[in-house]
Amino acid sequence: MTAARRLKIGLSACFSHADPTRSFFSGKTLQYVEQSIAHWLMSSGAMVVMVPCPTGSTQRGDVTYAHYAQWLDGLVLHGGADVWPGSYGETPLEEKWSGDRLRDDYDKALVTAFEALGKPVFGICRGLQLLNVAYGGTLYQDIGTQVPDAFVHRDADTYDLNFHSVDIVPGTKLSALYPGVERARVNSIHHQAIKDLSPEFEAEAYSATDGIVEAIRRKDPAKSYIAALQWHPEFHKSGSDTIDDGAVLKDFLTAVAAAKSRALA
């Protein structure tokens, strides 16, 4: 397949803000992607482009979010820093949960630009949380503090090898992607989670032990595609006993291809 025919997927950037204690680029903001998510998307044959934050300049010719949305075929929001509680009308319960307000604004602007053109959006971990907040939902700032007897959803020692089971909601699109599968095993690398689900979405999977929302999808099929997972599909190992995330990736890219075809028609 030629490069011109391959789907082009925009991948949101993680931010590492200027830090005087850092041994390199101490006074600079770094924007980067974790390579596993890029490799997971590329495994389908799609081309992946990190979308850097525009300069914000009003000078003629400056690149905007809209320009990226016009050029790319779909958007993936990947993991990273906490969501700023102010994004959903709360103050941080602790300073360490203040999140990254600048990245929130960046991610929401990306979503707005891609949705305006009817281009599919897929979220992973923080991406799920950001999408829920962007459409009017709220979050638990810290599961361990706010959800009694919850599973330990983030373990620094085991990191991406921290697993639990999720129950897939019957009758949902996610259930249709995994016929006959009612419960699956996934990784868990988060300490924030959906508290109040946005009315824009339906929950497609819940943590089996504590009911934390693990997958969401836009309710209205007439609107552009938005879906998200709380787990990290890119960290699941091939041949392991975790859920095969290939079906989820195919579903997203099928929606991307369909939206591209409609735009070209």
- Reported as a single tens digit per residue, the pLDDT across 85-100 is 999 999 999 999 999 9
The catalytically annotated residue of 200, 204, 214, 234 is 234
214 given a catalytic annotation: no
Query: Quick check: is 23 in a domain?
Result: no
Sign, CA dihedral 134-79-257-2, equals positive
202 given a catalytic annotation: no
Please give the residue range of the domain that contains residue 168.
Answer: 7-15+29-53+64-264
Q: pTM here?
A: 0.94
Query: Quick check: is 91 in a domain?
Result: yes
Q: What are phi and psi of 33, to 5 degrees?
A: -125, 150
Query: Quick check: is 102 in a domain?
Result: yes
The catalytically annotated residue of 14, 53, 125, 214 is 125
Query: Quick check: is 83 in a domain?
Result: yes
Cα dist from 65 to 12, 71, 104, 118, whole Å: 11, 10, 14, 14
Cα dist from 136 to 114, 156, 244, whole Å: 18, 30, 31
Q: Is pLDDT above 80 for 59?
A: no
14 given a catalytic annotation: no
| Least confidently predicted of 16-30, 133-147, 173-187, 245-259 | 16-30
Q: How far is CA 201 from the centre of its chain?
A: 14
Percent of the chain with pLDDT over 70: 97
**Residue 20 — very low, low, confident or very high, per pLDDT cuts 50/70/90?**
confident
Total domains present in the chain: 1
Q: pLDDT tens digits, residue range 190-232?
A: 999 999 999 999 999 999 999 999 999 999 999 999 999 999 9
- Please give the pLDDT value at position 160: 82
**Residue 56 — very low, low, confident or very high, per pLDDT cuts 50/70/90?**
low
Summarize the confidence of residues 132-140 as an average pLDDT: 98
Summarize the confidence of residues 169-181 as an average pLDDT: 97
What is the C-alpha to C-alpha distance for residues 66 and 114, in angstroms, rounded to an integer?
A: 7
- Please give the pLDDT value at position 250: 97
The CATH number assigned to the domain holding 177 equals: 3.40.50.880
Cα dist from 110 to 84, 135, 192, 206, 262, whole Å: 17, 14, 22, 27, 21
What is the C-alpha to C-alpha distance for residues 215 and 60, in angstroms, rounded to an integer?
A: 41
Cα dist from 188 to 124, 163, 185, 219, 252, whole Å: 11, 6, 10, 25, 21
Query: Quick check: is 24 in a domain?
Result: no
Half-sphere exposure of 171 (CA within 13 A, CB side): 3
Summarize the confidence of residues 13-25 as an average pLDDT: 83
The catalytically annotated residue of 78, 164, 191, 232 is 232
